[in-house]
Structure 1
């Protein structure tokens, strides 16, 4: 290892320590003042030289901290630019496809491709590892939700129905119109007895966002991961955005299929839904 690399490593370490421990720089400044006063009390050439050396050494923590902060800001700025670029690349095709569906005629193949792109974008954009993303669609009778598109690990979910407890909870989450984010199924079980009737096999954390336009619910967009606390708040917002875009596409598809007389799937009647409205196990 060269002296230059070693010097950069030491300087970086000093910058991080000084930046995170606010007392280092003031203590170094105080030490510099005391040392300079002692050394320059009876100034000689040697004492002046030592005073200069001590002052430079005591100034290094502040200089290193300032350099580290600028470096960190540059890195954060570059990371933000990269994130915006990924967001643009992920959402633009989805938005374009949705606009084409609303403007064009019936195209089931294009609709299926859009749903698949939505699942794939969630599976690859979110920060968690080993993600599974699924698009659930309410059937024509409004009694079941089946997996229409998926991407990631594991296979398809068995879906939901209005008869089972977990199915009632899933439909209630769609009707409530709010995202549900569970950071740990195990913790949820411990905190709310009876909140989960299944095992949650294959996943430990998930995000579920309703696919809806106004009061009309069309399905759910879910993303799950095998690790606790796998998702960030940014992941939650992203899933919400994709679900909102899917809502527009589902509404266009409904117009193709049934014409203007159709008003929705009738998501208003749910019997004995789970009190917490959480879809327990997919």
Structure 2
């Protein structure tokens, strides 16, 4: 079941749509059940093909429902936060992207405040969700992965689960990698996914994969072993919703199973 809300934001200066996926058997009454919650960026691309880029989604609802039915993960809520369309790059990035003329005057910090100070409190007030870090996840792909990673670094201890797919770590001359090296607190579980053919250029493919492996090295050095960090390199996988959908079952089970 999908429920939509329009959340006004002081930080972004606009109203943004969020879509809440409710698990089978969801019970709203407080005291009956409380649920973990996963927040995902690019909400248009998660559930509904009519709203998704190229008509292809992550198949989030179908995948989560199947894992819950097979008892691979407990019932949870998944909140898709719409991107800002022409403002997407600006909102998701804390630094400019020299390869993208729309990625100027970044609003990454404002977006992080929007998620943590406006979206999460709204969901907490509206739905019976658990409030612990272990029950709270954030994720995204591409620029959306940068936004999730940056927000987790900006707000250490808030998220216990982090889903990072095909992150654009090259932005700002590897700005996020530099921030990561200075971090002293990480989520309990992190899933990193990347394909070997993310772009149409071999040098960029190598760069994308190499940066993910650099981030893995940072996380391993920080003490994240196999139980806390899963890195999936998918041979031949591209920078597409279908690639992220294919890795989603493993990601959800690792993070919440």
Higher helix share: 1
User: With structure 1 as the length reference, what TM-score do the two structures score?
Assistant: 0.23
